[in-house]
């Protein structure tokens, strides 16, 4: 701005130009991140001919043919049901198991458990795959909800516990002590004080755990067949075949992304905090 003024640009104009330049920079930063999604949605609304045109087409009459095809030809409804069941189930189970644990870790300083969960967070999923595959094969559970939901606990439980340890530690101790004096049992302190006070974190933990279970590809790739396949694996199967159906692929990818978009709108302020839970304290 000073530079512009030195060249005789009047102050208000210089300020306006500097502001515009700043916003141009912000836009330049954002464009690459958005472009991929833009291209995905565009691809989903093009015909195969338009998708494989050279040079690429930006303006065209959109078609919803691809979405229709995805739903009719590929049992996609079943895969959507599967994905919701698996992510919902794994998240619910992680909450049931993880919330009491997190409360106790936060209040009674049981660091050993916290460390165990950190190990589970660090371990590459590849180290789980062989044992899980052999175990579930032996149990005859391959391609069942039980196998895939249990395996997804590896993802959801650490998220729930780490996010909630931080939240439960922040509950004012005086509040819990007052409740105890008023005659609450320790269990009631947990369900009536700690949980309601931490509801923002609870929402964050739930949504993050759902998203990361929803996104997981590896466990479903190994542990499911045609019956209980989840969406990421189902979309990947669009790749097989002689000619890639670009429109169908893009439509399927768009459909997977939609629920996540809706979910993050609720907790976007807290997502990064949740993803690095356990990192900023101690």
Partner 1 sequence: MSTSRSQALAGGATAVAAPPGPAGPRELLERHFSRLLPLPAVLTIGGLIIFPLAFNLYMSLQTWFVSSTTPPKFVGLANFLEIFGTDVRFWNATWITVKFTGISVTVQLALGMAIALYLHREFVGRGLVRTVMLLPMVSTPAAVALIWVIMFNPTLGILNYFLSQVGIPPLLWLGHPRTVLPSLILMDTWKWTPLMVLILHSGLQSLPLSPFEAARIDGASAVQVFRYITLPLLRPSIAVALIFRTMDSLKTFDTIYVMTEGGPNNASEILNLYTFQTGFKYFHMGYASALAVVLVLFVFAVNLALIRVRERSWSY
Nearer to partner 1, 107 or 228 (CB): 107
Report the nearest approach of partner 1 to the CB of residue 9 (Å). 21
Distance, in Å, from the CA atom of 158 to the CA atom of 156, rounded to the nearest integer, reads 6
DSSP state letters, 118-174? HHHHHS-THHHHHHHHHHHHHHT-TTSHHHHHHHHHHHHHHHHHHHHHHHHHHS-HH
- 8 Å CB contact between 98 and 220: no
CA angle 137, 149, 218 (to 5 degrees): 70
Nearer to partner 1, 8 or 108 (CB): 108
Report the nearest approach of partner 1 to the CB of residue 186 (Å). 5
Report the nearest approach of partner 1 to the CB of residue 8 (Å). 25
Nearer to partner 1, 7 or 108 (CB): 108
Report the nearest approach of partner 1 to the CB of residue 4 (Å). 18
Which DSSP helix (H) or strand (E) runs through 65? helix 65-73
Nearer to partner 1, 8 or 242 (CB): 242
């Amino acid at each position: 701005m000073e530079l512009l003024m030195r060249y005789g640009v009047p102050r208000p104009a210089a300020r306006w130009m500097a502001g515009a330049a700043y916003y141009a920079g912000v836009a330049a930063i954002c464009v690459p991140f958005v472009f991929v999604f833009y291209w995905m949605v565009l691809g989903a609304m093009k015909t195969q001919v338009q998708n494989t045109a050279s040079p690429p087409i930006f303006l065209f009459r959109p078609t919803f043919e691809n979405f229709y095809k995805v739903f009719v030809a590929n049992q996609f409804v079943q895969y959507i049901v599967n994905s919701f069941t698996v992510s919902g189930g794994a998240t619910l189970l992680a909450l049931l198991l993880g919330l009491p644990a997190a409360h106790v870790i936060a209040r009674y300083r049981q660091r050993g458990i916290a460390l165990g969960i950190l190990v589970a967070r660090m371990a590459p999923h590849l180290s789980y795959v062989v044992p899980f595959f052999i175990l579930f094969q032996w149990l005859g559970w391959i391609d069942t909800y039980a196998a895939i939901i249990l395996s997804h606990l590896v993802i959801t439980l650490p998220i729930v516990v780490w996010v909630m340890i931080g939240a439960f530690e922040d509950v004012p101790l005086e509040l819990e002590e007052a409740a105890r004096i008023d005659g609450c049992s320790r269990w009631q302190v947990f369900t009536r004080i700690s949980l309601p006070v931490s509801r923002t974190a609870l929402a964050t933990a739930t949504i993050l755990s759902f998203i990361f279970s929803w996104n997981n590809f590896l466990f479903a790739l190994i542990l499911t067949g045609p019956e209980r396949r989840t969406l990421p694996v189902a979309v990947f199967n669009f790749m097989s075949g002689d000619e890639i159906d670009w429109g169908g692929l893009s439509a399927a990818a768009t459909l997977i992304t939609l629920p996540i978009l809706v979910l993050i709108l609720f907790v976007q302020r807290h997502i990064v905090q949740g993803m690095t839970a356990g990192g900023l304290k101690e």
